[in-house]
Amino acid sequence: MRFRFPAAGFVLALGLVAAAPVWAHHSFAAEYDSKELITLKGVITKVEWTNPHIYIYIDVKDANGEVTNWALEGYPPNTLKRTGMSRADLKTGDEITITAYKAKDGTNTGAGREITFTDGTKKFAGPIGQ
């Protein structure tokens, strides 16, 4: 082969030009506000382990005891599997804390980012805001 292996810093930067969308099939910025990262603590009521994205539904109780159900979108199932989260990690009835970028449509929907489980384990549910 004729090419030479370049220096480490050069190699490191190579991927910067190899852009690939974090979400393969739709715009993040049109749907979610990357400047509004909220933290929600709630109980899982439903998990849709579906393509093109998973949805985690949680009941969040406010200071007055009022409960609101939130829908949080995440990576596709195969991506989660490859980054270390399985369907079994998300059980109905379990409590989680999740950071999420709020949806721009005014509903209780968000793009889930990082989940903290009750044992302190953290896993990414979806991409960083763009």
Partner 1 sequence: MRRCLLNPIFSVAAVALLCAALTPADSAQEYQAGNAAASKLPPNPKPMPRTAGGKPDLSGTWQAGGVSIFGEPGAPPLHPLPPAPARPPARQPIPYQDWADAKRKTFTVLDDPTSKCFLPGVPRIVGMPMPMEIVQTSGEVVILYESFRAWRRIPLNAKLEHPNDLTPTWMGDSVGRWQGDTLVVDVTGFNDKTWLGGMGTIHSEKLHVVERYKPLNYDSILYEATVEDPGALTKPWVTGSVLRRPIDVRVEEYECIENNPDNEHIQKAMELEKQKAGK
Residues that bind partner 1 (CB under 8 A): 1, 3, 5-22, 24-27, 30-31, 48, 50-53, 55, 73, 75-76, 78-79, 82-84, 103-107, 109, 124, 127-128, 130
Residue 50: CB minimum distance to partner 1, A = 4
Q: Give the nearer residue to partner 1 in terms of CB position, either 55 or 117.
A: 55
54 vs 80: CA distance, rounded Å: 9
**Amino acid present at 105:** D
Cβ atoms 108, 73 nearer than 8 A: no
Closest separation in Å from C-beta 128 to partner 1: 6
Of 40 and 71, CB closest to partner 1: 71
Q: Kindly tell me which of 19 and 63 has the beta carbon lying closer to partner 1.
A: 19
- Is residue 73 within 8 Å of 110, Cβ to Cβ? yes
Q: How far is the CB of 92 from partner 1 (least distance, A)?
A: 17
CB 42 within 8 A of CB 64: no
Q: How far apart are CA 19 and CA 44, in angstroms?
A: 34
Return the number of the residue (71 or 96) whose C-beta is nearest partner 1.
71
Amino acid in the structure at residue 126: G
Token duo for residue 25? 């099939």
Q: What phi, psi does 125 have (nearest 5°)?
A: -100, -25
* Minimum CB–partner distance for residue 39 and partner 1 (Å): 17
